[in-house]
Structure 1
Amino acid sequence: MNQQLVSQSQRPSAPETQRHTEEKKRLLDRLRRDKGNWNTNHPRHRLLDALHGYSRYHQRQTEELQRLRDLYTKAKKSQRKLLEKHIHYSEKFTHIERLIRRNQDLCDRIVANALQFYEIGQSELDAHIRELEANGRKADKVAVSQTLKHIVRDWTESGGAYERDACFSCLLKTLDTLFPDADDDASQVKVLLPGSGLGRLGRDMAQKRGYQVTLNEWSMYMNILYRYLETHAHSPNTQSLHPFIDTWSHHATTADMQRPLTFPDAPLNASELLLTEGDFTTVFNVEPRPQYDVIVTYFFIDTARNLASYLDTIKMALRPGGYWVNLGPLLYGSAPFVQLTLEDIVTVVEQGLGFTFLDVAGPECGEITLPGKLVRGMEAAYGFDDRALTRNAYNAQFWVARRSLQ
């Protein structure tokens, strides 16, 4: 690892409130090798796989860079001469390789922080990596790249203007409407945010509004990076990343492609948030039943392998009379058990689960999508790069549904 890594004694510590201490104890217990069957689905195995990915970021990215270099040699000599004379094309490879190294420095810090937080020795990680690579398993390049790009979405100024602001405004104003007396003691309002990613929405709910927020995330790539943020994101714009160097498409200029972004654009006081790692339908299906005042699913429900299980868990984890607030697309994965239309979801939630849909949203949450149903649609960008020559956006669906008092 990079010799410039901060020593463990100098590194800021993670939150140590009673809630955080108790949850970490439960987490470390779930991560024990002797808990359940040791296979690729074991949480410790998935954790080590993700650490493998961050550790090999430079290697995997330079492999791709070499592939692009090789493709360039297939152009005619006269064509390469033209490109070199006018735009010095081959210099891009050299410069991007240096930027990959800088990103690896960040990844090394992320790994070092995770080893400390999860109480894993470097020797265990090294042994895991040797075993994987001896069996021909390379580190996951895409998962690491996509997780790093979520820093842009959640923790940079450009991500706020491009992706967060409109959606967050809808959600935060909705909570204000649902809990008009929260100013008296907002910490009594318990919010659960499954699929929380890198935690920015939860941070804004906790630090701007004062709600007691519990985050939940399954992806170990996300969780590892969030653990880094919760110990290193106390001061704005003290970290940097080159997030767009691994894709050569849709750039207006080379400078856009290679530009660094600083993060976090706002400080994270992680003591005001609690991250519960693991599968939503598993970690909240426990006794005693958790009872939240509101569950906010933001870009989440279409990630389900079994959407019916998500719906069951949402109802179970809400207190009677609690609220389910949703905003996001319906872009299902490659092998979901069920794929419900928006109309299907409304019918099942109303008639099957006994929820009542409420019209508490303002114009910031869009227009009615289904005639006669209190579901709204709003455009929500999702693409990370606000300067790209392409734009990806969803007609994200918003609703508030109240669980019955029974």
Structure 2
Amino acid sequence: MMICSSFILNHTQEANEWTIYPWIHNNCNSLSDKDQLRAVSFPDIHPSSAGITEGFSMCAGDFVEVYNEESQESAWDAVVTCFFLDTAHNIVEYIEIISKILKDGGIWVNMGPLLYHFADAYGPDDDMSIELSLEDVKRVAYHYGFVMEMEKMIDTTYTANMVSMMQNRYRAAFWTMRKDVSRSKAKKRQ
């Protein structure tokens, strides 16, 4: 994912410059032969026209290891998590770090399901996994100083072939939360 993202961000000259055939090797659930041969061009907009400004961050590594550093504390105005929270072994730790790295008044935008990636890991060498309900995720966020500004559920797909006979859909949580200055300071005093 990182190699592809870096390539698109750093080596694209125009919108729809690159073309791939993502379904060429999959002959299941096709309505017609031409569906399997369908091309997809990307990116839909040129990256430099997307409003990406100084301070945009993308780095390889474990979220906890990279952002749970003193240098990251109160360093960010906004954090966007998309199909991300459920990748955690410990979602509480992710939320704590998001709160820690946001400036007071900072915004957290989230979109995604809670399909916990490590929920079925049972071996003796597997890290434990914490799987909270959406209700409990919001409670934890509140505990770490977040206030809900907007919330809704969105029906969506993830890497889907929209003309396939098979459609996997998510009813994903979408929200904007703000790190509340007064609640954050109150937490620091305790």
Aligned partner of 2:167 among 373, 388, 391: 391
Query: Residue by residue, what CA displacement relative to the aligned partner does 1:17-51 show, whole Å, maximum 9, x if unpaired?
Result: xxxxxxxxxxxxxxxxxxxxxxxxxxxxxxxxxxx
Comparing 283-292 and 308-317, the one that deviates more? 283-292
Aligned partner of 2:104 among 298, 320, 328: 320
SS in 2 for 1:319: strand
Structure 1 residue 290, shift from structure 2 partner: 4.6
Residue aligning to 2:9: 230
Aligned partner of 1:280 among 63, 86, 92: 63
Could you tell me whether the CA contact under 8 Å between 2:21 and 2:38 is conserved in 1? yes
Structure 1 residue 355, shift from structure 2 partner: 2.1
Q: 1:341 to 1:385 in 2, by over 3 A?
A: same
Aligned partner of 2:30 among 251, 257, 261: 251
Measured in 2, the distance between the counterparts of 1:230 and 1:398 equals 26
Residues 167-246 of structure 1: pairs in structure 2 closer than 5 A: 222-246=1-25
Measured in 1, the distance between the counterparts of 2:113 and 2:69 equals 29
Determine which structure has greater relative contact order: mean sequence separation of CA pairs < 8 Å that are 6+ residues apart, divided by chain length.
2
Structure 1 residue 378, shift from structure 2 partner: 1.4
Structure 1 residue 379, shift from structure 2 partner: 0.9
Aligned partner of 1:354 among 145, 148, 155: 145
Structure 1 residue 256, shift from structure 2 partner: 0.7
Comparing 375-384 and 317-326, the one that deviates more? 375-384
1:337 and 2:129 matched = yes
Could you tell me whether the CA contact under 8 Å between 2:148 and 2:175 is conserved in 1? yes
Q: 1:251 to 1:327 in 2, by over 3 A?
A: same
Measured in 2, the distance between the counterparts of 1:245 and 1:300 equals 28
Aligned partner of 1:308 among 77, 92, 97: 92
Compare CA radii of gyration and give the structure with the larger one: 1
1:403 and 2:159 matched = no
Measured in 2, the distance between the counterparts of 1:355 and 1:236 equals 37
SS in 2 for 1:277: coil
Runs of 5+ consecutive residues of structure 1 not aligned to the other structure: 1-221, 360-374
CA RMSD of aligned residues (A): 2.0
Q: Which has the higher strand share?
A: 2
Measured in 2, the distance between the counterparts of 1:240 and 1:227 equals 17
AA aligned to 1:398 is F
Residues 3-402 of structure 1: pairs in structure 2 closer than 5 A: 222-269=1-48, 272=53, 273-288=56-71, 289-334=73-118, 335=121, 337-350=129-142, 352-359=143-150, 375-402=151-178
Query: Residue by residue, what CA displacement relative to the aligned partner does 1:195-232 show, whole Å, maximum 9, x if unpaired?
Result: xxxxxxxxxxxxxxxxxxxxxxxxxxx11112221232
- Percent identical across equivalent pairs? 33
The normalised TM-score by structure 1 is 0.39
Aligned length: 169
The normalised TM-score by structure 2 is 0.79
Could you tell me whether the CA contact under 8 Å between 2:110 and 2:173 is conserved in 1? yes
Measured in 2, the distance between the counterparts of 1:348 and 1:239 equals 42
SS in 1 for 2:59: strand
Structure 1 residue 323, shift from structure 2 partner: 2.0
